[in-house]
A and B are shown apart, each in its own frame.
Chain A
Amino acid sequence: MSIELTVNGRTVIVAAADDTPLLDVLRNHLDLKGSRYGCGLEQCGSCMVLIDGKAEYSCAREVASVAGKRVETVESLAAHPLRQAFLDEQAGQCGYCLSGILMSAKALLDSNKNPSRADIVTALDRHLCRCGAHPRILRAVEKAAAALREGARS
């Protein structure tokens, strides 16, 4: 019932049933509303977070299974070039899918500094966007990758 995990660099202890969805813990116990409920079925990607650096669905993930692990949510990206790149490209319409997409993009850029368009498409293919902002989202991830490379050189 008492589970310790690291969320966005902060160690937290949550009192929740072992099988409580990680998404509910993030949103309701920790007040991190950036991870979003879309289906609860691991089909749409609105709830995507990083668990030990890997993009994972949080909507059906039992919180006990992330005990002792590092969880990152979109709230952790305040200074990451991805956030600005998405704003620069106006990469969204309603924006509901974006927080999950940002996390998959973060996982990609952490492991691949120079992803091709095809790499980005593959990394985001688990995500649904209903508004049709896909081309802008792909451009934004490319732009963030370029900004990261630029930052690494300077």
Chain B
Amino acid sequence: MSETLPLSIINNRRMSKWVRFQSDRTVRLSVGKVEIGQGVLTALTQIAAEELDVAIDRFAIVSGDTRDAPDEGSTSSSQSIEMSGRSVRLVTAELRARIIDRLARRLNCSPSDIAVDDGAFLLDDEPTGHDYWNFAGDPDFADDITGTARPKDPAAYKIVGQPVPRKDLEAKVSGAAFIHDIARPGMLHARTLRQPARGAKLTSLDEAAVRRAARGNFRVVCVGDFVAFVGDDETVVQRAAVAAPAHARWDNVRQLTPSQQEAAWYATQPSDDRFVGDPVPEAIAGEVVTATYSRPFVAHAAMAPSCGLAEYRDGHLQVWSHTQGVYPLRNTLADILGLSREQVTVRHAHGAGCYGHNGADDAAFDAAVIAMQLPGHCIRVQWRREEEFGFEPVGTAHMTRIKAVLDAAGKPIDWTCEVWAGSHVQRPVYGGNMLTHEALPTPPPAPKPNDPPEAAGGGGTRNGTPLYDFPAKRIIHHLALATPVRTSSLRGLGALPNVFALECFVDELAEKAGVDPVAWRLSHLSDPRARWLIENVTDRCDWASRGAGGDGKGLGIAWARYKNKAAYAAVAVEVEVDQEVHVRRAWIAADAGLVINPDGAANQLEGGLIHAVSMTLKEQVKLDGDGITSLDWETYPILKFSEVPEISTVIIHAPNEPTLGMGECTFGPTAAAIGNAVKHALGVRIRDMPLTRERIAAAIMG
């Protein structure tokens, strides 16, 4: 059986690692996935409560803790319910079955005669006097999970599939709730002076000037070219950090130019070229159509600048972080700091939504470096807003060129998607560097270009292969050897730029063929789940009454299956275009198989749509001089309340299908639907994101 077990169980075989029945009649559920605003802990608890038949209020969840929660890698790529959810289901089903077997032997009855009511066992509807907690000390809990128990039939579900509210929201609307709010005895606040980029050398720091600006006591911690201001008064160290850059001199600072902020720049750079899909035909007869689309560098732009806490005491380093992966972070910290893994504990604490690999891990590393210099103190590092925008890894710029060869009837007979992009993932486990590691006396080598393998959905290639019934398809991926600034995973990786390109290009082909874009899609698409969603959205947005367009109002549609294997989403949007694009209404239809928490799912689908509207219309990281110049919310604007569309969402009920990760599935289709709606509104197509006032003016002027 083990070859069919999810990786989470293979890496954490012991039952007691996952579930324990505690003496206060609660159930302790431990998971490696962490809450990043997506409601995953509630969904995982629902699964456990369902399989065990224990009321959901009895659960206490432990999440992301290297002391005793399972190692489930990183919370990313819409994998949590697919992988961790499946694991929790297998573990709890097996535990239930084993305990009931044991009880049945004791009561001399068949296991199927025993029912469970909120953790208490019934025989023929009568209490047996036994419950899970009676068995808490049994050897079952120390056993390995075999994965052989049969989980419940979805038809019997009472908790899974219900809109269970999230417990963690209560603190978040009331007061202290986040890592930023943790206060430890004797805690010291810290702020950093950032090395402008790897290789830069600090030649002087006018400490007296910084102290005059700070007006209070603090220490300066210097390790190589890493500088931190540390003291018990947060206001003082903040003043020091704000003043410091003007009093620091650096040598060997790399210089950037604005030309590097456009994806097209990558086409001029050396790359590691990769090939996926069908071989290139030697000769193929037909009309060649091509178009090029791009997305610039984009920021995660979390609401909260990153924060990390670390305490080095008695040879042990304890770290609190809003990282997506406590075990990968622990391993990286131990390796760089020269500690054994057993000497480091990393515990997850809630942060703001991250949407990928932002400054969270780097802030934890900052705190750890300082803590190693000041043993016995808890160090709290709070990044400043300009630090988060200036130094978090950003989502790479990405250019996609599609070339189709059409037969005489206009049907694509050969399809090539060519991508130029930097690394979409540069977590340390993927060859990236911790920010401050680059400032330490022995910095690591420059990061190697890297991307997730195709089996994991790829990075630059993600969603680059169309799911339409075309006879030959391939991707040529030019992975840049270097990026102008650090890049790493951001919601959807290459899916958003590739779906934007693919689904806009499909509209262009339909127009060329004189065919309605929906009809064109359906005529080249046999997947029934995708067809159902497209037809559903088409009906709801009143596609039939869509006019010829060109009058400033537009309706556009697009769809994708995230990673070509996770959840499906079709999206339609209605736009008005004057000097700017306004998305007024949006319709979502999604198929994520078995949905654990439909309210949480709708929240993710709609949140992904709003995030994509923001990215498509507004967002671009600006580069110049010594680094990123879009350092606040005015230079990096995101969508405001007054710009958010009315959204209507339908989630297909498919309880017998496996759960498909859906946190990123509306992202790409939304971008493409906007591109198509803007074309409908204006009569001209804009292929480069963001679709700003300047780009609209340029498009209209032709």
Instruction: Identify the A interface with B (CB < 8 A).
Output: 16-17, 20-21, 24, 27-28, 31-34, 36-41, 43-44, 46, 74-75, 77-78, 83, 86-87, 90, 92-99, 102, 121-122, 124-125, 127-138
Of the A-B pairs whose beta carbons lie under 8 Å apart in the complex, a sample of 6, sorted by A's number, is A33-B177, A39-B633, A90-B166, A92-B169, A94-B302, A131-B37
Complex Cα distance A28/B231, Å?
13
Max chain B CB contacts within 10 Å: which of A17, A32, A37, A98? Answer: A37
Contact between B176 and A134 (Cβ–Cβ < 8 Å)? no
Inter-chain contacts of A43 with B (CB < 8 A): 632-634
Given contacts A24-B235, A96-B353, A135-B606, contact A46 B642 (CB under 8 A): no
Complex Cα distance A28/B188, Å?
12
Contact between B632 and A93 (Cβ–Cβ < 8 Å)? no
Residue of A whose beta carbon sits closest to that of B170: A87
Given contacts A36-B180, A134-B610, contact A124 B301 (CB under 8 A): no
Given contacts A34-B174, A86-B173, contact A96 B641 (CB under 8 A): no
> Counting CB contacts under 8 A, is B215 at the interface?
yes
> Counting CB contacts under 8 A, is B38 at the interface?
yes
Inter-chain contacts of B355 with A (CB < 8 A): 130
> Counting CB contacts under 8 A, is B638 at the interface?
yes
Inter-chain contacts of A133 with B (CB < 8 A): 603, 607
Contact between B177 and A37 (Cβ–Cβ < 8 Å)? no
Question: Of the candidates A39, A90, A102, which one forms a contact with B165 in the assembled complex, judged by CB atoms under 8 Å apart?
Answer: A90
Contact between B633 and A93 (Cβ–Cβ < 8 Å)? no
Contact between B641 and A93 (Cβ–Cβ < 8 Å)? no
Q: How far is the CB of B39 from chain A (nearest CB, A)?
A: 7
> Counting CB contacts under 8 A, is B384 at the interface?
yes
Contact between A124 and B641 (Cβ–Cβ < 8 Å)? yes
Q: How far is the CB of B135 from chain A (nearest CB, A)?
A: 35
Inter-chain contacts of B632 with A (CB < 8 A): 39, 41, 43
Q: How far is the CB of A4 from chain B (nearest CB, A)?
A: 19
Given contacts A94-B36, A94-B353, A121-B642, contact A132 B175 (CB under 8 A): no
Q: How far is the CB of A14 from chain B (nearest CB, A)?
A: 12
Complex Cα distance A73/B235, Å?
20
Complex Cα distance A122/B552, Å?
25
Complex Cα distance A96/B169, Å?
10
Q: How far is the CB of B401 from chain A (nearest CB, A)?
A: 30
Question: Of the candidates A17, A90, A131, A138, which one forms a contact with B641 in the assembled complex, judged by CB atoms under 8 Å apart?
Answer: A138
Mostly, the A contact residues are loop
Given contacts A94-B351, A132-B608, A132-B610, contact A37 B641 (CB under 8 A): no
Contact between A96 and B638 (Cβ–Cβ < 8 Å)? no
Contact between A37 and B180 (Cβ–Cβ < 8 Å)? yes
Contact between B175 and A75 (Cβ–Cβ < 8 Å)? yes
Question: Of the candidates B165, B305, B352, B599, which one forms a contact with A94 in the assembled complex, judged by CB atoms under 8 Å apart?
Answer: B352
Given contacts A132-B610, A133-B603, contact A83 B173 (CB under 8 A): yes
Contact between A38 and B304 (Cβ–Cβ < 8 Å)? yes
Q: Mark B110-141, 1 if CB is under 8 A from A, else 0.
A: 00000000000000000000000000000000
Kindly identify, within residues 503 to 556 of chain B, every residue whose CB is under 8 Å from any CB belonging to chain A: none
Q: How far is the CB of B63 from chain A (nearest CB, A)?
A: 15
Complex Cα distance A34/B176, Å?
5
Question: Of the candidates B173, B304, B350, which one forms a contact with A87 in the assembled complex, judged by CB atoms under 8 Å apart?
Answer: B173
Contact between A36 and B169 (Cβ–Cβ < 8 Å)? no
Q: How far is the CB of A74 from chain B (nearest CB, A)?
A: 7
Q: How far is the CB of A3 from chain B (nearest CB, A)?
A: 14
Contact between A21 and B640 (Cβ–Cβ < 8 Å)? no
Question: Of the candidates B37, B385, B611, which one forms a contact with A95 in the assembled complex, judged by CB atoms under 8 Å apart?
Answer: B37
Given contacts A37-B305, A93-B37, A94-B303, contact A102 B173 (CB under 8 A): yes
Residue of A whose beta carbon sits closest to that of B175: A34
Given contacts A37-B382, A96-B178, contact A20 B644 (CB under 8 A): no
Complex Cα distance A17/B239, Å?
12
Mostly, the B contact residues are loop
Q: How far is the CB of A99 from chain B (nearest CB, A)?
A: 7
Contact between B644 and A128 (Cβ–Cβ < 8 Å)? no
Given contacts A94-B302, A132-B610, A132-B644, 6 further A-B contacts (CB under 8 A): A41-B632, A93-B37, A93-B607, A94-B172, A99-B172, A130-B353
Q: How far is the CB of A64 from chain B (nearest CB, A)?
A: 13
Instruction: Identify the B interface with A (CB < 8 A).
Output: 36-39, 163, 165-166, 168-170, 172-178, 180-181, 183, 215, 233-235, 238, 301-305, 350-353, 355, 382, 384-385, 599-600, 603-604, 606-611, 632-634, 638, 640-642, 644, 646-647
Inter-chain contacts of A130 with B (CB < 8 A): 301-303, 352-353, 355, 611, 638
Complex Cα distance A13/B166, Å?
37
Contact between A74 and B385 (Cβ–Cβ < 8 Å)? no
Residue of A whose beta carbon sits closest to that of B649: A135
Inter-chain contacts of A44 with B (CB < 8 A): 303, 633
Max chain A CB contacts within 10 Å: which of B173, B174, B175, B607? Answer: B173
Inter-chain contacts of B644 with A (CB < 8 A): 132, 134-135
Complex Cα distance A127/B610, Å?
15
Given contacts A33-B176, A41-B385, contact A17 B215 (CB under 8 A): yes
Complex Cα distance A107/B60, Å?
36
Contact between B38 and A93 (Cβ–Cβ < 8 Å)? yes
Q: How far is the CB of A113 from chain B (nearest CB, A)?
A: 21
Inter-chain contacts of A86 with B (CB < 8 A): 169, 173
Contact between A99 and B304 (Cβ–Cβ < 8 Å)? no
Q: How far is the CB of A60 from chain B (nearest CB, A)?
A: 11
Residue of B whose beta carbon sits closest to that of A135: B647
Inter-chain contacts of B647 with A (CB < 8 A): 135
Contact between B172 and A24 (Cβ–Cβ < 8 Å)? no
Q: How far is the CB of B379 from chain A (nearest CB, A)?
A: 16
Q: How far is the CB of B404 from chain A (nearest CB, A)?
A: 33
Inter-chain contacts of B600 with A (CB < 8 A): 90
Q: How far is the CB of B646 from chain A (nearest CB, A)?
A: 8
Given contacts A33-B175, A136-B603, contact A131 B633 (CB under 8 A): no
Q: How far is the CB of A48 from chain B (nearest CB, A)?
A: 13
Complex Cα distance A21/B178, Å?
20
Question: Of the candidates B173, B176, B303, which one forms a contact with A46 in the assembled complex, judged by CB atoms under 8 Å apart?
Answer: B303
Q: How far is the CB of A106 from chain B (nearest CB, A)?
A: 12
Residue of B whose beta carbon sits closest to that of A85: B173
Residue of A whose beta carbon sits closest to that of B303: A96
Q: How far is the CB of A78 from chain B (nearest CB, A)?
A: 7
Q: How far is the CB of B491 from chain A (nearest CB, A)?
A: 11
Contact between B39 and A38 (Cβ–Cβ < 8 Å)? no
Inter-chain contacts of B640 with A (CB < 8 A): 125, 128
Q: How far is the CB of A150 from chain B (nearest CB, A)?
A: 20
Inter-chain contacts of A124 with B (CB < 8 A): 641
